[in-house]
Structure 1
Amino acid sequence: MIQITQQMIDALAPNPAASSNARKISQKGGFIRLERSADETFYLGECTGSGASRYITSADFLDPAVPVFRCSCPSHQFPCKHSLALLCEMMAGKPFAVCDIPDDILQKRAKKAARAAKSESDGDGAEAPKAPPKVNRAARTKKLQRQLEGLELTARLVQDLMNAGLGTMGGTALATYRTLAKQLGDYYLPGPQRLLNRLILEISAFQKDGDDAHYESAIDVLEKLWALVKKSRQYLTEKVESGRVEQDASLLFEELGGVWKLSELEALGLAKQNARLAQLSFWVAFDAARGEYIDTGCWADLDTGEVSLTYHYRPVKALKYVKQEDTFFGAARIPALAYYPGEGSRRVRWESAELLPLEPGDLDGLRRCAASDLAAEVKAAKNLLKNTLSGPAVYRLLRFARIGRAGDVLALQDTVGGTIALGDLPGMEPTTARLTLLPDPSLLESQVLLGAFWYDGAERRMKLQPLSIVTADQVVRLLY
């Protein structure tokens, strides 16, 4: 039988209520018939519904990474609670009578196989290389030129602020800057638009409470906005003048607000086949400048130890339509993993994945991949963070000898005597103090830490925020 876990059911559910209702259906004996195919790729159940209604629900696991659910109920949710309840029956080990796969399912499988066959280059089963997406050169050139016009407007604004000082943004002038921020959307520049909105929010907060931290943050945002404008003007000008307007692997595309398609990332070679990832940490943050909640997963490649991030954006205006992501404690087997351009802890995305429990030895493999030279990792992280357009932190797996007090702070010591202060990245949920609450002192000796390197500008030194401790048999999450 296909291995089903509660994690898998919760991940597939469109919302927590659907998962909860599915458990109730299963626990109350809602199924009067359960069947499966001999090869265990197809499962079917007949479930009682409201009144005299009965629903036929099925799960097709021909491709375990992309199970197909069908149900005769009128629900618009997908998968519906009856489909999820069928999974609950499987997870509970209920007996399923052996049946033939229905003809309509076999026909659907055949059509899907025929579509897949068209993607093969020849009869030997090799897949044809994906052609790069077609580019409307005239439309792309027009858009780039429009972006350049918007960047010129932004450059004048930033130069005026640098000459006159951020204090000139105060009072009634904020309304003018809000209007300018809205205008940037007309120039296809949502990235600079968000930075300007963040600048406005920091100055507004400074006016209310006088906290210098807001003013310092505003300076950082202004520096990033200026760096983005300078680099983007040069980048876009070269593309327009050379006529090479096709998409490339530049970080600036996303920084300006572009949205990558998976096919575009694959065409640029930013992909990995048959990847296996384990989520080691998870958090949710609200970005006021974007008006969105961001669900962030921190994942480690079980084969290489590389740490990557997933981002799931939920606009405030559409919260009831967008499902929140959740912590996942198993492993994901991903047929095609796409990487975003960049260095350090890159963003990743995928269309489908088979969700599985962690296998024996997976954590040992991660521990073997962890870095042991703290000085080298700090140097590498510092070089990455020097880039004004980089993210605020670099995530790494690090082997350590001990974690303990060093004066007034908690510090990590590596296996060769190097040390680094532990501290919480501004804007992140605090985790450092949670190390002192761990009931097992052995977790603070000779283990592997998932941590976020970041630069503390006030103290002028690198720090490390602890996120998880990876032992030989468990992941102890400080943030999940």
Structure 2
Amino acid sequence: MATITEAYVDSLAPNAGAIKNGRDLVKKNSFPQLHETEDGVLLFGECAGSGKEPYRCSVDFVNEANPVFRCTCPSRQFPCKHTLGLLYARALGKTFARADIPQDIVEKRDKAEKREEKKKEAAAVPPEEASKVKRKVNKSALAKKIAVQLDGLATLEKLVLQLTQSGLGSVDKKTLQMVEEQAKQLGNHYIPGAQAGLREFVMTMQTEGDKEAVYTAAMEQLVILRALTKKGKSYLEQRAAQPEMPMDTETTLEEQLGHAWQLAELQEYGRVESDAELLQLAFTSYTDQARGEFADTGWWVDLRNGAIRVTRHLRPFRAARALREEDTFQAVVKATELFVYPGELGARVRWETATFRETEESDYGRVKSVAAASFPEVIKQVKNVIKNPLADKKPVMLVAFQSIERIGDSFILRDALGKQLPLTDFAENGRPTTPLISLLGDEERKDQAGLVMFRHDPGDNRLGVQLLSIVTDSRIVRLLY
């Protein structure tokens, strides 16, 4: 069994409140009984609760990459504070007495093993037979859904054209109410991505401040919606004519229309990589009002090939309390299966099971070795991506820099050939990072790697660059975390 550290337990908690509550149980000595099996794979015990009977809780590491949490408490939070407290007790050095595995857990393990056997039997089906089953399409249902989607896109297209022709200066409160109502109606057309885009336009137009900046941002949103309706209609019409046509796995079009990719679909389309090792370089959480959800976003480097990957944990407002809140992660993630979502730079990834190991100095050296050395080449790559209206407008890249220098009131990154990347801050990232640069030492400012985010400013037609983190030979300096 892997070493249980406080950081590891923190990473399992659904939110900060669960971390505090779990730790408090240990501080209050709420565990009169703490046990572990001879092999150390199962931790179990009793925790005093508000009733007469204590809660019986356990954490089973029979599958180290996917521990099983069990507790008799009525909490809907997972893992609950009692199982977290059990792990904190181990991490903090509390004594666990040796004991035999409880009979109820033996029975639950047996049932779990039978389920796994059935999964293995299903996996043993020849790929050609399995793919036939997966690709079977209910043509009638698909045709009906596409017809409704196309109807919604046609409505959206007319609205975008109307707003563009009349001019943003003529958009008043009454017009925005009409657009907002139209956005609600799009919820019936299976295109939540387009619906969120229209809501974002409304919120942009309601923003107080410099009108020119507001209009520029709003017009950019209309351009995106126009491109989405045009490409979306063309793609859906092709799928309607050819129901067996594979889904688009090269771009984010399906996701922008609102499709939620299932792991089985990604596996079917071959978007699964084996034995990946990922190291997180930066992390942030933000609120997406247009979609009604919180987004916990991490940027990772794949230690095998240097690719930048993104994790995005989405928590709808309505269910936020019941879902685990992600946080900055320090260890190296070892994922047996890495599911890669469609996309270009910085593809989104996900894993179901993983183990962890402590970061080593060789990992930092590996990160620095794969950083892009030429700023002009990086800029060319970024521009080739963002010229697509539906592409990620804030791609993240790993670059090698020779120095961080101050010029007047600003900072720049300079590469080995003397080329520069002027640094700035993006308000939507939540907090500035450039003020932190002055706190860095000489070591961090010279011959290191930097994780940077690009953003195209349509107002002055320039690329902005924000520094998210710095990777040295011995550590990661996180400016955004």
Q: Same fold (TM over 0.5)?
A: yes
RMSD: 2.5
Within a 5 Å distance, the mapping from 1:38-53 to structure 2 comes to: 38-50=38-50, 52-53=52-53
Match of 1:158 in 2: 160
Q: Which shows bigger deviation, 389-398 or 176-185?
A: 176-185
| Alpha carbons of structure 1 residues 462 and 175: separation in structure 2 relative to 1, 3 Å | closer
- 2:373 maps to a residue whose letter is S
Q: Tell me if 1:357 matches 2:395.
A: no
| Alpha carbons of structure 1 residues 222 and 13: separation in structure 2 relative to 1, 3 Å | same
| Alpha carbons of structure 1 residues 463 and 16: separation in structure 2 relative to 1, 3 Å | closer
CA contact (8 A) 2:252 2:391 kept: no
* Local SS of the residue matching 1:120: helix
CA drift at 1:277: 1.6
Percent sequence identity is 39
User: 1:51, 1:290 → 2: CA distance?
Assistant: 41
- 2:31 maps to a residue whose letter is F
CA drift at 1:344: 0.3
CA drift at 1:351: 2.6
CA contact (8 A) 2:34 2:96 kept: yes
Q: Which shows bigger deviation, 105-114 or 215-224?
A: 105-114
| Alpha carbons of structure 1 residues 433 and 67: separation in structure 2 relative to 1, 3 Å | same
Unaligned runs of 5+ in 1: none
User: 2:39, 2:124 → 1: CA distance?
Assistant: 26
Match of 1:392 in 2: 393
- 1:161 maps to a residue whose letter is L
Q: Tell me if 1:10 matches 2:36.
A: no
User: 1:30, 1:188 → 2: CA distance?
Assistant: 49
- 1:13 maps to a residue whose letter is A
CA drift at 1:51: 6.2
Q: Which shows bigger deviation, 45-54 or 238-247?
A: 45-54
CA contact (8 A) 1:120 1:127 kept: no
CA contact (8 A) 1:58 1:71 kept: yes
* 1:328-381 CA-partner distances (Å, limit 9, x unpaired): 222222232211101001111223333443244222222222221222111111
CA drift at 1:133: 6.0
Match of 2:177 in 1: 175
CA drift at 1:424: 1.9
Match of 1:264 in 2: 265
- 2:295 maps to a residue whose letter is I
- 1:406 maps to a residue whose letter is I
- 1:83 maps to a residue whose letter is T
Match of 1:215 in 2: 215
Q: Which shows bigger deviation, 232-241 or 309-318?
A: 309-318
Q: Which shows bigger deviation, 404-413 or 369-378?
A: 404-413
Match of 2:187 among 185, 188, 196: 185
CA drift at 1:226: 0.6
CA contact (8 A) 1:248 1:268 kept: no
User: 2:246, 2:137 → 1: CA distance?
Assistant: 7
* Local SS of the residue matching 1:119: helix
User: 1:134, 1:359 → 2: CA distance?
Assistant: 47
User: 1:34, 1:418 → 2: CA distance?
Assistant: 60
Match of 2:71 in 1: 71
User: 2:248, 2:116 → 1: CA distance?
Assistant: 28
CA drift at 1:96: 2.9
* Local SS of the residue matching 2:426: coil
Match of 2:373 in 1: 372
| Alpha carbons of structure 1 residues 127 and 368: separation in structure 2 relative to 1, 3 Å | farther
* Local SS of the residue matching 2:24: helix
Match of 1:97 in 2: 97
Q: Which shows bigger deviation, 113-122 or 13-22?
A: 113-122
User: 2:320, 2:377 → 1: CA distance?
Assistant: 42
Q: Which shows bigger deviation, 397-406 or 46-55?
A: 46-55
* Local SS of the residue matching 2:179: helix
CA contact (8 A) 1:454 1:463 kept: yes
User: 2:316, 2:214 → 1: CA distance?
Assistant: 24
Within a 5 Å distance, the mapping from 1:120-269 to structure 2 comes to: 120=120, 129=127, 131=131, 132=134, 134-205=136-207, 209=209, 211-244=211-244, 247-249=247-249, 250-269=251-270
Give the number of aligned pairs: 476
CA contact (8 A) 2:15 2:326 kept: no
User: 1:287, 1:21 → 2: CA distance?
Assistant: 28
CA drift at 1:465: 0.9
Q: Tell me if 1:313 matches 2:314.
A: yes
CA drift at 1:260: 1.1
Match of 1:411 in 2: 412
CA contact (8 A) 1:447 1:471 kept: yes
Q: Which shows bigger deviation, 144-153 or 282-291?
A: 282-291
* Local SS of the residue matching 2:429: coil
Match of 2:461 in 1: 460
| Alpha carbons of structure 1 residues 202 and 83: separation in structure 2 relative to 1, 3 Å | closer
| Alpha carbons of structure 1 residues 72 and 439: separation in structure 2 relative to 1, 3 Å | same
* Local SS of the residue matching 1:468: strand
When the two structures are superposed, what TM-score results if normalisation uses the length of structure 2? Answer: 0.91
